[in-house]
Amino acid sequence: MKKLMNGVDTILRESLTGFCAAHADLVTMGEDGKFVRRAALKQGKPALISGGGSGHEPLHAGFVGHGMLDAACPGEVFTSPTPDQMLAAAEAVETGGGVLYIVKNYEGDVMNFEMAAEMASGDVMTVLTNDDVAVEDSLFTTGRRGVAGTVVVEKIVGAAAEAGADLASLKALGDRVNAATRSMGVALTSCTVPAAGKPTFDIGDDEIEMGVGIHGEPGRKRVPHKPADAIVADMMDAILGDFDASGGPALLFVNGFGGTPAMELYLVYNAARARLEKDGYSVARSLVGDYVTSLEMQGCSITVTRLDDEMAGYWDAPVHTAALRAGM
């Protein structure tokens, strides 16, 4: 294993310290590194808190700031944060509007966020994301996995919170965005968890994993590597075939898993966009880049959100975080 690190016990803390120092205008580290929070809070606004295992950066700490999250709780690599972390984050950033947890659907995360919600004194609601169409149940999940669509939920709900929406409205909006969002991923290579020291899975030089999870969990099937157009066609079949309706304005989000050149991501975007237009969608908004990664895994996911006017408006609203910035 070759990584830029000093030791498996310190990699997360050293990285978070660097992150908070590099973005000190936006974020500060919470006590004992339990969470990363906004440097400045807005009184009375419902607090948006997310979190999950580390190794998916910039998710979630990269989305803390105006227009998105108030705090993010980083677990160890690919390991849920603890209820203690979520509770500490909630206590630090709740300013009278209650707390909305945004949780990716993995058993550990769901259980720990639920426990934190039960321990909380104030109002807490939760949006659970499960946008991955690849598999119904998985290594760490009952039901579908929450993957890159989580960023779309965080952006749109974050903008609504900034605009003054109350806790119940944010919960409803988050559920609606999640329901309008589908994703699927493909892996060309594995990733290596620092504490494991070896690749999470073995894959041949001529194989790809269709429907891979963001922890390297198995997807739908292992198939021979093939041209990007054919890979994208399979992914878009799965994504678009899962919607109840088709056509209309869509957000097209091509997400790199960490080890994929930008050149390839834009090529995938180009193919996915052509397919959407052929199927009667208009690509109304776009996002291309590394937003929900799996360490250094090569591959990408495609996310499509069927946008309504409210969602599109919130997508366009100003945001100022380490990983996403617009309009300010």
Give the catalytic positions in this structure.
Answer: 56, 215
Interface characters, 132-171, with a second copy (x: CB under 8 A): ----------------------------------------
Tokens of 225: 């590597």
Query: Could you report how far apart the first and last alpha carbons of the chain are, in Å?
Result: 40
Q: Is 196 in the site for a second copy (CB under 8 A)?
A: no
User: Which listed range, 29-37, 163-171, 203-211, 303-311, lies at the site for a second copy (CB under 8 A)?
Assistant: 203-211
**Which lies closer to a second copy via its Cβ, residue 23 or residue 155?**
23
Q: Looking up tokens 């890979």, which residue turns up?
A: 231
Q: Is 295 in the site for a second copy (CB under 8 A)?
A: yes
Q: Cα separations (Å) of 65 from 197, 320, 323?
A: 33, 6, 10
Q: Is 248 in the site for a second copy (CB under 8 A)?
A: no
Return the percent helix, strand and coil in the chain, to nearest 5: 35, 25, 40
Interface characters, 23-62, with a second copy (x: CB under 8 A): x------------------------------xx-xx---x
User: Which listed range, 83-91, 98-106, 289-297, 306-314, lies at the site for a second copy (CB under 8 A)?
Assistant: 289-297
Report in angstroms how near the CB of residue 35 gets to a second copy at its nearest: 16
Say if CB 235 and CB 186 are below 8 A apart. yes
**Which lies closer to a second copy via its Cβ, residue 208 or residue 238?**
208
**Which lies closer to a second copy via its Cβ, residue 142 or residue 282?**
282
Using the rule CB under 8 A, which residue among 47, 90, 208, 311 binds a second copy?
208
d(C-alpha 180, C-alpha 109), whole Å: 22
Tokens of 124: 């807490």
Among 71, 69, 81, 73, smallest CA distance to 106 is for 81
239: helix, strand or coil: helix
Q: Is 251 in the site for a second copy (CB under 8 A)?
A: no
Cα angle value 304/201/185 (rounded, 5°): 5
Q: Which residues contact 308 (CB under 8 A, 6 or more apart)?
A: 180
Residues that bind a second copy (CB under 8 A): 2-7, 11-12, 14-19, 21-23, 54-55, 57-58, 62, 77, 188-189, 205-206, 208, 225, 227-229, 231, 258-271, 273, 283, 286, 288, 290, 293, 295-296, 298-300, 325-328
